């Protein structure tokens, strides 16, 4: 559970799970009482391998890719448990943008979107109460947009 400014949240919002596998894992994590994105727990719960372990962030493919996404990467703050971006240090912010540029070069991605999940999930559409980002690229087909929940 996360408690902040008189707000108590479980680590995961199970009601936004996109499939049964994700829901089952979210329920197990909430039952265990561990933040799945804290560095010590990440590999225990996240089924995809870590692509790159940077100084401040971990990079992996997202467990459940957004529909119609060609690429969907998850970038998780590892230095501390935070739910909001306001306390990020300049070097953590800089590294996030360096990661974004590296992913576009490494995977030859012609265009992508950065989604930063910061704050209460009722406003962000997120499912995990730990600061993280999604770097997503569509297929390039206007008839198949990538859609995600915000709020």
DSSP codes, 85-116: GGG--HHHHHHHHHHHHHHHHHTT-S--EEEE
Query: How sure is the predictor about 105, in pLDDT bands with cuts at 50, 70 and 90?
Result: very high
DSSP, res 14: G
What CATH number corresponds to the domain at position 82?
3.30.428.10
Count the domains in the chain.
1
In a domain, 148, yes or no: no
pLDDT at res. 8: 55
Tell me the average pLDDT across 103-109.
Answer: 98
Residue 149: in which H helix or E strand, if any? Answer: none
Contact 50, 107 (CB under 8 A): no
- Across residues 96-110, what is the average pLDDT? 98
More confident site: 87 or 8 = 87
Average pLDDT of the residues of the chain = 89
Residue 126 lies in a domain: yes
Residues spanned by the domain of 57: 2-138
Specify the higher pLDDT residue, 16 or 139.
139
Q: pTM score, two decimals?
A: 0.86
Percentage of the chain modeled with pLDDT above 90: 57
Q: Sorting pLDDT into bands at 50, 70 and 90, what band is 9?
A: low
pLDDT score, position 18 = 85
């Amino acid at each position: 559970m996360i408690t902040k400014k008189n707000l108590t949240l479980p680590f995961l919002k199970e009601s936004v799970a996109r499939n049964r596998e994700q829901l089952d894992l979210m329920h197990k994590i909430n039952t265990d009482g561990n933040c799945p994105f804290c560095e010590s727990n990440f590999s225990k719960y996240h089924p995809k391998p870590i692509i790159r372990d940077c100084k401040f962030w971990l990079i992996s493919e997202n467990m459940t890719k957004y529909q119609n996404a060609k690429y969907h990467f998850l970038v998780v703050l590892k230095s501390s448990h935070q739910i909001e971006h306001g306390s990020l240090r300049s070097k953590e912010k800089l590294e996030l943008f360096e990661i974004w540029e590296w992913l576009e070069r490494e995977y030859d991605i012609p265009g992508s979107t950065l989604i930063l999940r910061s704050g209460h999930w009722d406003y962000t559409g997120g499912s995990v109460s730990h600061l993280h980002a999604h770097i997503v690229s569509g297929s390039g087909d206007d008839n198949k947009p990538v859609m995600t929940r915000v709020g």
